[in-house]
Amino acid sequence: MPLFGSTFSPKKTPPRKCASLSNLHLLDRSTREIELGLEYGIPTMNLAGQSLKFENGQWVAESGSFTGDRREMQRLRKRNQQLEEENNLLRLKVDILLDMVSLCPTATCLWQWECPSDGCWDRQRS
pLDDT(113) > 70 = no
Distance from the first to the final alpha carbon of the chain: 106
DSSP-based three-state secondary structure for 126: coil
Q: How high is the pLDDT of residue 92?
A: 96
For 2-22, write each residue's pLDDT tens digit: 566 677 778 888 887 766 667
CA distance 96 to 94: 5
Amino acid at 70: R
Answer for the pair 70, 63: CB distance below 8 angstroms, yes or no. no
CA distance 61 to 51: 6
- Interval 64-81 mean pLDDT: 78
pLDDT(48) > 50 = yes
Most confident of 62-66, 78-82, 96-100: 78-82
